[in-house]
Amino acid sequence: DMVRREIISRLIIKLESALSRTPLDLDFLQFACRQELYLWEALSRHVNVPPDIVQALREFLQLVMDRIENAEVTNNTVETVAGEMGRPRYNLEKQKLVELLEINLSVDCIAKLLCVLAITVNRRIQEYNIVLFGAVDGYSRKDIEEPDIDWDVAADNGEDVDGVIAVPEFQCSLNEQQLLELQVLIEENGDADIRDIYLLCREYVLQALSGV
């Protein structure tokens, strides 16, 4: 019951925050609603949750999607401005990037949302000096999500930077037994929805790291 109350409170706060924006950002509201719907659908498969909440979220998400589809202009349109050497430069707002990162969207997800390359998002994060929280063994989210690219080599390959990305290495926080248990957990739930598998693995890792 306590977990259910906390999730309901989180849902209310998330939707109130999205609805309180002026002007109303329909794209952000859509992502916030979809994120909550995924969470509630996954939760409903494991515990008893009010079905009215899940149904209301589905209907609300559909209304938001219909409104976006019918709108002539959305607030998430990324404008371009003149850049160096006459090349167009994507004008990504700092506040919008901060808000998207605060809801734990990955750089790749933000790039897809804004219809730009992940490289562009990473560059703006650096230019705006945005601090990314959530360190893993001394590595920040920026260290993990942003590839270390040899730009001299990448320039010869255009946007295709395969083969010139250096993935950071760090010691795994789970021991061999925990990794084995995690592998068994994934195999046992191989037929489940990918979101459910992610939530199960995330819960296991959090419990393992907390020593529960």
Residue-by-residue pLDDT tens, the chain, 212 positions: 676 777 778 888 888 888 777 777 888 888 888 888 888 888 788 777 788 888 888 888 888 888 877 764 444 455 555 554 444 556 788 888 887 777 667 777 777 777 777 778 888 888 888 876 544 333 344 444 444 444 444 444 444 444 444 444 556 677 788 888 888 878 877 777 777 777 778 777 877 777 65
* Whole-number pLDDT of residue 114: 74
Q: pTM here?
A: 0.35
What is the spatial distance between Cα 87 and Cα 49, in angstroms, rounded to a whole number? 52
- What are the residues whose beta carbons fall under 8 Å from the beta carbon of 188, sequence distance 6 or more? none
Q: What is the phi-psi region of residue 6: left when phi exceeds 0, alpha when psi lies from -120 to 50, beta otherwise?
A: alpha
In the beta sheet, which residues pair with residue 166? 148
Buried b (16+ CB within 10 A) or exposed e, 183-210: eeeeeeeeeeeeebbebbeeebeeebee
